[in-house]
Every structure is written in C-alpha cells, then in structure tokens.
Structure 1
Amino acid sequence: MKRIWRHTVLSGLLAALAVGVFPTSAHAAQPAPSAPAAPAQQGKGPATFGVRPATAEKPDNRPNFSYSATPGAVIKDHLAVANISNDPLTLKIYASDAFNTPDGGYDLLDAGRKPTDVGAWAKIAVESVEVPGRTTKIVPFSITIPADATPGDHAGGVVAALVTEATGSDGQRVAVEQRVGSRFYLRISGDLKPKLAIEDLESKYRASLFGSGETTVTYTVRNVGNVRLGGKQKVTVETPWGSGTSAENLADLPELLPNNAVRITTTVKGVIPAGWLDSLVHIDPVAPPGPQPQAEAVDASVTVIAVPWLLVIILAVVLLLVLFLLWRRKRKRSRPGPVEPQPLPEVENAVA
C-alpha cells in the first residue's frame, strides 16, 4: 500500500462570502477578503465553499467572530458553511489558534497541530458536515473560557476543510486539504498592556564610487504586550550634522498578535557617505477599536560606518604626491656637491 502524505493547500475566499473570511495555510497567507476561493474537486464538478459568522437561522454581516468576555464565561454562537458548487460536499469543521506568518500575515495552525489557546476552548457541534450543492448549513459552537485565562487578546479561527486525494509526481497517493476560515478575536477583561518592541536592529551602507549611496535597515518588531497592534513606521538615516533622509513608501506595520513578531527590511536611498550614519526607527502603534490604554511610541537607532570613497581617494592621491615631493627634495639635498680642485703644494728643490 502506498504511503499517504498530507498537504495543506492554500485556498482563497468566496467572493460571496468575502467579509471576515480568510485563507489558511501552513505558508504565509495575507487576508484576502475579495479573492474567490480556489475550486477543489469532489464528485463530478469543481467544489467551491466558504465559512462565515451567522445567527441560528442564517448568515449575518459580522466581519469576523469578535467577543469580549471574563474568565470562566461561556460564549455560544453559530457559523454558516456554504457550498457554492453544484455537487454535495463533506467538509471537516474545526477551530485552531492563530499566529503571524514571517511577513505578518494571519494564519492558523495546521490541522495536525493541537491548539492550546482559543482554538482549544472552542467546541464545534460537529466534526464534519455534509452540505448539498447550492446550500448553506448553520453549525452551532461554543467557547468556554478557562477561569485562569490571561487578560488581553486571544486570536484563532474556525475552519471548513475539504480533503481530496491526488497522485503526486512520484506516483504516491497524496491527501490534499483545502481550507477556508473565519477569524476569532477574543478579548478577556483585565489588565491590558499594549506594547511593541524593536529588536535586532541592523544597518548596512552600500556606497557608490561617486555621489550618494543607500542604506539597508533591518529590524524585528515584536508585540510584547497582550493587545494586538499594528503601527505606522518611519525609518530615517541621519548624518553627523543632523540632516536626514527617510525611507519612501514604507508600508504600515501589519497587525501583530501578542507574542508574535515580524522582520522588516527597508532601503533608504540617496544617502551621502558622511563617515558615520545613524539609522533611526520610529513606530507609532495602532490598536484595534475599543477602550484600552494608549500604546507608547517606540524608537531604536544604530550607527553604521559610511566611507566617503571619493574623498578618501583624493586625499590618498594628495598624500602620495606630498610624500613624493618630500622624498625628492630630501634625496636632492643628500647628494654630494662637485669637488673643487685643490692647488698642489709648492716643493723646494734642495741643492747638494
């Protein structure tokens, strides 16, 4: 019997179910609320499906599942699973924890990884659901918050997944899981601490032989608080006399979940080689709507050597020329002058 491997394939969103639904994958996945779901194959035709918040009767207009609660509370809600294709589908339904991908995207743990946070607190009424073609089914679920749950934001999501089989390039049978989902945002009451930190700041200057060069600035932004935060970024490179050049078209910081981080790299162009340069990073945190303490701005800086090669070459040429002239002058002084002929001494002839 051939070994079966499980892969998770990223699927987009249904245009009809765009609001609040996100693709999930083991790889980086940015929220794409207007992208159509990639079709899968089950039965005779392509399968397209989605999941979104709902009441007990029908889907509603909430962008996601967002709650505020106290430790020990129980939340009850519903989700809508829609089959937009013509053939019936059997879909797995499960909840999981969220995390930020390396580029700051929002994603959920793979199906094989056990959740430990809000994904573990959520209990879906069924593990799978059969949805006829062109039909939406409502599925109830609950979230039981532990009595010792920590204050702040907890993030996860509910997933509808379709598992199909295919044959890999090596001839082995492959189980392909295609999934879409909707986000859980849960805020537990208590001491809220919105805070970002800048870590591992690095700066490298790349000079050109003539004129200005560019500085590459790389840093990690980490959410060290307990509230999800985005941010407005500014990166500036300053000379010793205070003039500065800022990075152009620097994107806003993606929303970071607590205990998550993203690595940022940007290039500041048109920087003159002033001997040494200060690379400055400034971030103004942006919190989600709702009452909470104001997060303080964060700053970090690092100094990089920027050698003015043109000036160095000119000074080296001048120095070599001066040294050559001094050597030539010294050599000229050390040469012996012409020897003047001395008169011969007079000799008296003695007469015997």
Structure 2
Amino acid sequence: MRTRHVHPRPADPTSTSRRTMFVVLLLCVALGSVLAPGLEPANAIGRTSPAATLPSQDDGSSITWSVRPSPTDADPERPNFGYDIAPGVTVTDSIRVRNYSEETLRLDLYASDAITTSTGALDLLPAGEEPTGVGAWISLDSSELAIAPLEFVDVDFTLTVPADAEPGDHTGGIVTSHRTPGVDDGGDTVILDRRLGNRVHVRVDGPLRPALQISDAEVSYTGSFNPVGTGSMHVTYTVTNTGNVRLGAEQTVTTNGRLFFPGRTVTPEPMGELLPGNSLTFDVDVGEVWPIGRTTATIELTPIPTRDGDVFDADTPVESASVTAPTMPWTLLASLAVLVGVAVLWRRHRRRRERREAALVDAAVREALADTPNASDGSDGSDGSEQDGSEHDEPQHENGDRDRAPDGTGAGVGGAHRSGERRGPPAPRGNEQ
C-alpha cells in the first residue's frame, strides 16, 4: 500500500455547520432504524464516486472521503473501471481513497457484485452476501484502511476472469465502508453503515446478444363519470434483461381504437441501464382511452446500448407484448338503463290511465243509454185506439172491387186481421171523379 500526502484544503463552512451535520445525523439514524442491529444497508454507487460526508464527533467535526480509480498516464481522469478481457486473463489496477477530514479515517474495503434496484439505480450486494461474479474475481491488497487526515492511499488489486466465464458484460464494484454504532428513536442500538464505491465493468470476449423480455403484463381500466367521456388505462409490466450486455430501452405503450374512436400511444421515459439477468417493473398510465368494450394495450421495447461505442445491428429484436382488458362504458350503460326504466314506467302509467279513461267512457255510455225512453213502449206517435183483432171498414173503389192484397190472393184489405197484427195503410182509391 502506497501512502501520499496532499496539501490541506480550506474547510467548507457549509459542510462544517452544525445545522447541516445535525440533519445528516438524523438521516443516518433514520436509515439505520429500519435495520436490525448488526445489519448494514446497501447504498447505490454512481458512475463517479463523489466524496461522502458523515458527522463524526459531538463537537460537530465531520468525516469526508472519496473513492475513484487511481490516475494512469493513459487516462488520468477515468471515472470508473472498465475492461475488455478474454477468459482466464488477469489484470492489475489500483483504487484511490482520499480522506478530506482532519482526523484519521478508518474504512473497510471489499469487492462485491452489482445489481439493479427496483428504482433502476445501480447498487451492490449487502456486505454479508458473498459475491459470485466480478466481486469474486477481484483480490484486494488491503481490506482495512487507516488514512491519516488530508491524505490518500492507492490500494492495488488484481482481477482474474475465470476461464469458463460467460461472454458479455459483468458488473461489480469496490466498496469502502464506514461503520459506526448509533441509537434509533426507540432507543435500540443500530449499526450505521455508510458505503461509497466505484463501478467495475468487465466485458468478457465472445458473441454479444442484446435481448429483453416482457413478462407479468397487466392492465386495468378506470372509466369516467361522463357518459360519453374517455377513461384511463393503467399498464404494469416487468422487463428482464435476458441477453448478455448492459441495456437501456425506448418504451411505447399503444392502445387500439375502433371505428371513430382512435387509439392512444404514450412514450414513457427511456429505461435506464439494466444489467444482464436483472429485472425492472414499470407502471404506465394511458389517458383518453375510449370505452369500446375491450381494449388491447401493446408494449414495445427497443433495446439501446448504454456503453459508449456500442452499436446494435438493425436486426436487434424489438420486444413486444399485448394485454387486453374490458373497457365498458358503465356510466353510459347505467344512464341508458335508467332511461329504459323510466320509459317502461311511463308506458305502464299511460296504459293504466288509458284503461281508466276507457272505463269512464263506458260507464258514461251505459248511463246515457239507461236514461233514454224505449221505442217499444208505444211512444211512436200512434193514438193507441187500434186494438188487436178489430175490424175496420175500408173504402170501396167505384168499380166495386176490393184492392187485392199484395200477394195476389184476392183477400181484401178489409179482411179480418189476426190478433196481434197491425194493418198497413189504406190502398189508394182508383178512377176517382
């Protein structure tokens, strides 16, 4: 281990203020309070490793350090470690840890494998979990550091790629860890572990295969209270890097339309870097979706490289998946049901009213008929003097002949009538002078 001295730098008044240190301390305690005593949280590592600052003493002093690759003649400002290497080959390099504090800094140093968190950030395995990838390929000259105030150390390490390593990208990191005891709000003792590391990217020689897979796609629809309005679809899906290279992706989610109801397309933020074998879950909302009965949401991912200089072939597969959900216009259907119900009730009411009116008319007609005199009671204008069976003299024609009966029988009109018969009117007289 090589030790070098650096010139003191002016202290940052902001970083040493009591208020800032108090806030940082509260954050550290809150982080440790969610962990059981003796467990350490994993912190994300960036593409570059800025200085980490921790409150240290009750007097307000702070601990600040940084981690980055040691400068080389070829690349004095490299932000992280990157190697293109064949299986079975070993490389040697070194990492620089700088102490900006005015007190001795004690750190643990180890290598680990990288993972993609649920938020898409790059993180390292917890300290107690054994690495199986790049973390296991790295051997450090030192695992514990004691760095004097305002000094730095360069720690050498070797990286040996196994002979049977899979082609493609492998990612890990070298981590510095500062562990201090603390007390949470409940009075329990916890271990506060602040980790700061630097990425180590290894690309093993061999064919590269960029590939993404969509799984667990689900969709739900929320309608509008407006009977003729649109709703929204919530689409959830998981993306897994099934290839052997680090990948990002352009994303689109499209819903189908029908007839005069157009579909919708949304473009979420591009997917960040996803390591091989890792997965991310996405939630996408699509607005202004028409309730056309059933709607299909189609998810498309176009892989994009995240490593500088990588170019994918034009035939790199675009991953897609579709999922369908009912998009019923429930508000419109409910409104129509209410209208139909009102129409049925109105029609029933109208029929009952018509029946009542018809019954009233029939009653009025019957009553009117009952009050009208009957034609058969003799009220036809006759004087009533004619009796059944009575005989009347009929006038004679001058020729002495009686008028013949209409039936030609010769029976005179003066003949006797049967009881109950009514005589007709007298026949007209003939040859009257």
- For normalisation by structure 1, the TM-score amounts to 0.82
Q: Does 1:298 align with 2:298?
A: no
* Higher relative strand content: 1
Match of 1:240 in 2: 258
Match of 1:349 in 2: none
When structure 1 is superposed on structure 2, of 193-202 and 307-316 the one drifting more is 307-316
Residue among 98, 102, 117 paired with 1:82: 98
Distance change (3 Å), C-alpha of 1:167 and 1:326? closer
| Cα deviations by residue, 1:36-90 (Å, 9 ceiling, x for unpaired) | 5232426973111121111479993112111111111101111101111111111
Give me the whole-angstrom Cα distance separating, in 1, the residues matched to 2:326 and 2:318. 27
CA contact (8 A) 1:197 1:221 kept: yes
CA contact (8 A) 1:38 1:48 kept: yes
Q: Does 1:187 align with 2:203?
A: yes
Give me the whole-angstrom Cα distance separating, in 2, the residues matched to 1:135 and 1:198. 49
Report the Cα offset of residue 332 of structure 1.
Answer: 8.0
Residue among 273, 280, 298 paired with 1:280: 298
Q: Does 1:46 align with 2:67?
A: no
Match of 1:175 in 2: 191
Higher relative contact order (CA 8 A, sep 6+): 1
Distance change (3 Å), C-alpha of 1:8 and 1:306? same
Tell me the amino acid that sits aligned with residue 69 of structure 2: P
CA contact (8 A) 1:59 1:79 kept: no
When structure 1 is superposed on structure 2, of 178-187 and 297-306 the one drifting more is 297-306
Q: Does 1:37 align with 2:55?
A: no
| Cα deviations by residue, 1:125-178 (Å, 9 ceiling, x for unpaired) | 111121111111111101111111111111110001112222344444433221
CA contact (8 A) 1:119 1:156 kept: yes
Tell me the amino acid that sits aligned with residue 320 of structure 1: G
Aligned to 1:311, what secondary structure does the other structure show?
A: helix
Match of 2:37 in 1: 5
Tell me the amino acid that sits aligned with residue 177 of structure 2: A
Report the Cα offset of residue 103 of structure 1.
Answer: 1.6
Distance change (3 Å), C-alpha of 1:54 and 1:43? farther
| Cα deviations by residue, 1:6-47 (Å, 9 ceiling, x for unpaired) | 2435xxxxxxxxxxxxxx52xxx4748586523242697311
Q: RMSD of aligned C-alpha atoms?
A: 3.1
Residue among 157, 173, 177 paired with 1:141: 157
Number of aligned pairs?
A: 325
Aligned to 2:336, what secondary structure does the other structure show?
A: helix
Tell me the amino acid that sits aligned with residue 311 of structure 1: L
Report the Cα offset of residue 275 of structure 1.
Answer: 2.1
CA contact (8 A) 2:118 2:280 kept: yes
When structure 1 is superposed on structure 2, of 37-46 and 276-285 the one drifting more is 37-46
Distance change (3 Å), C-alpha of 1:42 and 1:49? farther
Give me the whole-angstrom Cα distance separating, in 1, the residues matched to 2:183 and 2:320. 52
Distance change (3 Å), C-alpha of 1:307 and 1:330? same
Aligned to 2:40, what secondary structure does the other structure show?
A: strand
CA contact (8 A) 2:65 2:97 kept: yes
CA contact (8 A) 1:42 1:89 kept: no
Distance change (3 Å), C-alpha of 1:83 and 1:223? same
Residue among 308, 317, 320 paired with 1:289: 308
Give me the whole-angstrom Cα distance separating, in 2, the residues matched to 1:58 and 1:181. 22
Q: Which runs of 5+ in 1 are unaligned?
A: 10-23, 347-352
Match of 1:164 in 2: 180
Tell me the amino acid that sits aligned with residue 298 of structure 1: E
Give me the whole-angstrom Cα distance separating, in 1, the residues matched to 2:283 and 2:214. 13
Distance change (3 Å), C-alpha of 1:66 and 1:252? same
CA contact (8 A) 2:47 2:80 kept: no
Match of 2:407 in 1: none
CA contact (8 A) 2:85 2:205 kept: yes
Q: Does 1:315 align with 2:326?
A: no
Match of 2:231 in 1: 213
Match of 1:60 in 2: 76
Give me the whole-angstrom Cα distance separating, in 1, the residues matched to 2:203 and 2:131. 18
Distance change (3 Å), C-alpha of 1:313 and 1:89? same
Q: How does 1:122-137 map to 2 (within 5 A)?
A: 122-137=138-153
Distance change (3 Å), C-alpha of 1:30 and 1:331? farther
Report the Cα offset of residue 315 of structure 1.
Answer: 2.6
